[in-house]
Structure 1
Amino acid sequence: MNHFLAISLLLVASVLAGCATHPAPELRPFSAEESKELALEALSRRGLSFDEYQQKKAELTAQPQKAFGFDQQGEMNADRALPVRGHAS
């Protein structure tokens, strides 16, 4: 009879302990910010070219895409804010 009581108490304690735990965070839906962050991480792992990456990133972040490219002098145009000496702006 003593063994039956001990097993019953262990069973009841384990059931109550299982009911008292919080749900796993994986079971809750992702917020909009978390979804966007996961999409950006997946995008960075895809191995796209620079132009394709910038285009997809602009789509995900809903920002207007900046024009990157070469200017007429063959130099990279990155929308420089500081003028370079000896070059016309």
Structure 2
Amino acid sequence: MKKLLAIAMLLAVSVLAGCATHVSPELRPYTAEETRELAMEALNRRGLSFDEYHAKKAELLGQPQKTFGFDKQGEMSAERAVQLHGRPS
């Protein structure tokens, strides 16, 4: 009877010890692509103006900064005829 009690106690202690140990997930460094994706997600959540957003995006992606803006023609009327390289519009 003492053997059975000792085995049960040993089993209970080993189960409780196994449950008490903290198993952490694998801690690996992020890849460059994952880091870029996280930075882009954070940028999308920041609520920047159009110009600030594109400046930061170009900075993150390592691209030359493009200037965005309005064209020099202004507004176009729907009644205005547009010639498209030799064909009528």
In the superposition, the TM-score normalised over structure 1's length comes to 0.64
Q: Which runs of 5+ in 2 are unaligned?
A: 76-80, 85-89
Distance of 2:38 and 2:65 partners within structure 1: 20
Q: Partner of 2:9 in structure 1?
A: 7
Q: Partner of 2:74 in structure 1?
A: 74
In the superposition, the TM-score normalised over structure 2's length comes to 0.64
- Once the two structures are superposed, the pairs formed by residues 40-59 of structure 1 within 5 Å of their partners are 40-59=40-59
Distance of 1:18 and 1:31 partners within structure 2: 32
Letter in 2 for 1:3: L
Q: Aligned-pair distance for 1:34?
A: 0.8
Rg: which structure is higher?
A: 2
Judging by fraction of residues, say which structure has more strand. 1
Q: Which runs of 5+ in 1 are unaligned?
A: 76-84
Q: Partner of 1:80 in structure 2?
A: none
- 1:14 to 1:28, Cα distance in 2 relative to 1, 3 A: farther
Letter in 2 for 1:6: A
Distance of 2:25 and 2:74 partners within structure 1: 55
Letter in 2 for 1:4: A
**When the two structures are aligned, how many residues end up with a matched partner?**
76
